[in-house]
Structure 1
Amino acid sequence: MGDRVRPVGPRAAAAAACVVLGLGLIGGAATGSWLTGDSAGAAGARDSFTAAADLWHSVPVDQIFPTTVEGEGAGPGGADRAWTRIAVAPDSGCAKAFDPLLRKVLAPAGCLRLLRATYTDETRSHVITVGLLFTKADSAAMGVLNSRFKDEGLDRRRDLLPRPYAAKGTVAAGFGDDQRASWTLSVLTDAPVVVYAVSGFADGRSVTEPQPAEDAMETGATTPPAQAGLGHDAQGLADRIERGLRKNVGSATEKPS
């Protein structure tokens, strides 16, 4: 694949009109599933999409980014993992959160709000930034963006990386662009959200060839990110933050019995 990225078609649209800016960060995470089944039909899907768009300012921070995230079976060989939150970034725009080319690819979806937190593993030797980009796109535009990432393999390119949140006074203080070792990025289609995570070593060592989490998790992979389990850290934490988001959407759309 060449270095140039084709522009996305102009299908991004404004998200639900009820979404407004607020000061509160989000909250509450746990594992869970999205509202499943199609019995609710299109109306139910729209309700879920709208509810997801509103979560960034309607849910407490500890629910979206829990202080501790358990990763049962999330490590190499099915080992258990656990991650502790060490910092939450102020909710912000997207200007400095992505490498320039990734920012260009995501731009058609718009940036309503970006939420980020940085975690460390139990040994405090790894650091992982996980992010939730709430876009301004409608469901059709998110579907187009999702297809593009899959069809063109954009989630595997080293020139399309999310950036870490290096929190001063923590073990992640030196977690910069050169320290990125593994990453994952997922464009959701049932919510106007892009979920990502990027991991690295807490000692600040540079990594010349970051590896997508999917590759770093392959059996027999021998790269430094793979051997350290940094692919598992990025994927495992991103998965669980995404599950928490989905659980919050399910709660927001439940009808009283």
Structure 2
Amino acid sequence: MAGDAADVAAALPVDGIVETTARLRPVPDQARPLTASRPIVTFARPDTRDADTARPRLLGALTGPRTAAAAVCVVLGIGLIGGAVTGSWLIGDGPGEGAQGAYAVAGSLWHDVPVDQLFPPTVHGPGAGPGGADRTWTRVAVAPDSGCKDAFDPLLRKALAPAGCLRLLRATYTDATRSQVTTVGLLFTRADSAAMSAVAGRFKKEGLGRRTDLMPRPYAAEGTVAAGFGDAQRASWTISVRTDLPVVAYAVSGFADGRTVTEPQPAEEAVKAGATTAAAQAGLGNEARGLAERIGAALRKSVTGATEKPS
């Protein structure tokens, strides 16, 4: 696949950071009031009503001794699923029998979880900076949920094509000094566990996550500190093709002043001691890796929470 990258440039507002979000199918019974300082975005809930009766399916339909037995089964089942999800995330393996439910749940989270849960307004990173320095990131923009057409360089889009693109969620953050910006993305795929493992295997074997012609693109929102964060401003990045969930997580960082970066460097190399590129010296590898890890943790928490709730 081939195509040209499109640069995005806009002026930094005089009054500092202005978060830009898009309302994504609000849930009437959960949506919070919209304030001038921080719009709240939620992803729509799936319809859980019975198709034949149009009535909600209730757990309380069982009575007598059957109720107690069902409750015991539910409790035991939740414990098994929750343990499998946690273990799978920690070791990065594909889903076993107990994690199949979590794998399915994760694929629907893009329309069932509030944006603040997946992309927190403020992210703290103790020890995430160079030399173990603490980091704090503030969300400045949330992209409308979308497809993947313009989110990746052409070759990266081709490499991810076997996994399929169900939905892409992105948010852009800035550091405490407002001098650096980082876009974090969660690509929810259409792939099953075997397909995700195949894509992950190719990325690892061929080193695709380190190639500068396979970088994810940033999300630059007008009227924010990230307005000038375009393709030419990408300095460091990281890509993780999950095998335990149908998700590709990534982050790409750069300077907030719109300067062009001629020598971008993957985060895993930029964080190494002795790295001398501009990205490494500025700690942009730490920015990309630190945010990607913490957004991944937020997703992990959402998956665990979803599988712990009886349906």
- Category of TM-score, reference length = shorter chain: 0.7 to 0.9
Give the secondary structure class of the aligned counterpart of 2:87: coil
- In structure 1, what is the Cα distance between the partners aligned to 2:289 and 2:142? 19
- In structure 2, what is the Cα distance between the partners aligned to 1:34 and 1:219? 34
Amino acid of the residue matched to residue 87 of structure 2?
T
Candidates 109, 116, 141, aligned match of 1:87: 141
- Which structure 2 residues correspond to residues 195-234 of structure 1 after superposition, within 5 A? 195-234=249-288
- The answer (yes or no) to whether the contact 2:138–2:173 under 8 Å persists in 1 is yes
- Which structure 2 residues correspond to residues 23-62 of structure 1 after superposition, within 5 A? 23=25, 25-26=42-43, 34-36=85-87, 42-62=96-116
- In structure 2, what is the Cα distance between the partners aligned to 1:101 and 1:169? 30
Give the secondary structure class of the aligned counterpart of 1:35: helix
Amino acid of the residue matched to residue 186 of structure 1?
S
| Cα distance, 1:44 vs structure 2 | 1.9
Amino acid of the residue matched to residue 252 of structure 1?
A
Give the secondary structure class of the aligned counterpart of 1:175: coil
Candidates 57, 63, 81, aligned match of 2:117: 63
Amino acid of the residue matched to residue 36 of structure 1?
G
- In structure 1, what is the Cα distance between the partners aligned to 2:230 and 2:294? 24
Amino acid of the residue matched to residue 108 of structure 1?
P
Give the secondary structure class of the aligned counterpart of 1:129: strand
Report Cα offsets for 1:49-83 as digits up to 9, x if no partner: 01110110111000000000000110000110010
2:292 corresponds to 1:245:
no
RMSD across aligned C-alpha pairs, in angstroms?
Answer: 2.0
The residue aligned with 1:164 is 218
Report Cα offsets for 1:133-180 as digits up to 9, x if no partner: 000000110011111101100000000000000110001001000000
- The answer (yes or no) to whether the contact 2:146–2:169 under 8 Å persists in 1 is yes
- In structure 2, what is the Cα distance between the partners aligned to 1:182 and 1:69? 19
2:150 corresponds to 1:130:
no
Q: Taking structure 1 as the reference length, what is the TM-score of the superposition? A: 0.85
In structure 2, do the counterparts of structure 1 residues 253 and 126 end up closer, same or farther at CA, with 3 Å as the change threshold? same
- The answer (yes or no) to whether the contact 1:183–1:235 under 8 Å persists in 2 is yes
- In structure 1, what is the Cα distance between the partners aligned to 2:253 and 2:127? 18
The residue aligned with 1:139 is 193
- Structure 2 residues not aligned, in runs of 5+: 1-23, 27-41, 45-83
Amino acid of the residue matched to residue 45 of structure 1?
A
Amino acid of the residue matched to residue 23 of structure 1?
R
Give the secondary structure class of the aligned counterpart of 1:128: strand
- Structure 1 residues not aligned, in runs of 5+: 1-21, 28-32
How many pairs are equivalent?
A: 229
| Cα distance, 1:111 vs structure 2 | 0.5
The residue aligned with 1:97 is 151
- In structure 2, what is the Cα distance between the partners aligned to 1:113 and 1:255? 24
- The answer (yes or no) to whether the contact 2:164–2:191 under 8 Å persists in 1 is yes
| Cα distance, 1:255 vs structure 2 | 5.8
- The answer (yes or no) to whether the contact 1:26–1:63 under 8 Å persists in 2 is no
| Cα distance, 1:34 vs structure 2 | 4.5
- The answer (yes or no) to whether the contact 1:93–1:111 under 8 Å persists in 2 is yes
| Cα distance, 1:254 vs structure 2 | 1.7
| Cα distance, 1:48 vs structure 2 | 1.0
Amino acid of the residue matched to residue 260 of structure 2?
S
Amino acid of the residue matched to residue 167 of structure 1?
A
2:172 corresponds to 1:118:
yes
- In structure 2, what is the Cα distance between the partners aligned to 1:89 and 1:34? 28
- In structure 2, what is the Cα distance between the partners aligned to 1:148 and 1:111? 18
Amino acid of the residue matched to residue 100 of structure 1?
P
- The answer (yes or no) to whether the contact 1:110–1:135 under 8 Å persists in 2 is yes
| Cα distance, 1:218 vs structure 2 | 0.3
